[in-house]
Amino acid sequence: MKAARSRPEAERPLHHQERRGRQGARVVEVFSSLQGEGVFLGQRQVFVRLAGCNLACDYCDQAPARAETAGEDWSLRRLQSAIMRLQGERRHAAVSWTGGEPLRQVESLAAMMRWARGKGLRNYLETNGTLVEAFRRVAPLCDTVAADIKLPSSTGRETWSEHLEFLRVAKAAWDTERRRGSRGAVERTFVKVVLTGRTTDFEFRQVVRLIAEVSPDIPLVLQPATPRRGVTPPEPARVVRLLRQARGYLKDARLIPQWHPVWGVR
């Protein structure tokens, strides 16, 4: 597996993250909706969208949130109040920390995840699976990790080595919880890969090999791209072929398109 060139975990200096983590977070929006992707499709969650991302995927449906300046600065107290207000209006299965890339604001994220745990809320992390050192800090606080594997044909860069190490950290956290006799959600890590018309067979084989190297028990979700800005999904017959290929190496491979555009919800 070809290693990616070394790149920084985040573009801004760490001390800026630490200061924001003590004071609050850069938030794009907080809302209640149904999970539209992955193995928890249809689950009611509170979504907290944090600003900033270290990648620029061509199929991104939240491109404005990629900018560090997106949204506005929220105090942690304001963010906590918004979550509890939504939780008081109806029952939610988890808080989905999403973006952008939420691990770009790891100081704030860690503080909020600890608070959520204290309130009996579950933490669902949606991540591009490339910021390994940041993930180490919050892995014990995660109840579910939805990790994307990003393909070079969609991002313009290779991140195989980052993804491999990310899944190893998730697996280690899972093993630690099992040794303690508890069912931690990093046991509930799953991988998602968005397939476009530009996805190559080589890229897909790399995805399957990477997961199998860490653990064939990790579920893989194939998500054909939702058409937007010239990006199209692969032909259906090819997607089914790739699904069969993945099932030859992994214990749990599923085909789950993105559903919230169909439902007409965020």
> Cβ distance 195 to 172 under 8 Å?
no
pLDDT tens figures, 18-29 = 455 557 999 999
What separation in angstroms does the CA of 106 have from each of 136, 153, 246?
Answer: 10, 28, 32
- Amino acid code (one letter) for 52: G
pLDDT category of residue 5 using cuts at 50, 70 and 90:
very low
What separation in angstroms does the CA of 68 have from each of 59, 82, 99?
Answer: 19, 21, 11
pLDDT beyond 70 at 80: yes
pLDDT tens figures, 181-216 = 665 544 589 999 999 999 999 999 999 999 999 999
- In the chain, pLDDT over 70 holds for what percent of residues? 89
pLDDT of residue 21: 52
pLDDT beyond 90 at 174: no
Number of alpha carbons in the 13 Å side-chain half-sphere of residue 167: 25
Is the previous residue joined to 42 through a cis bond, with omega within 30 degrees of 0? no
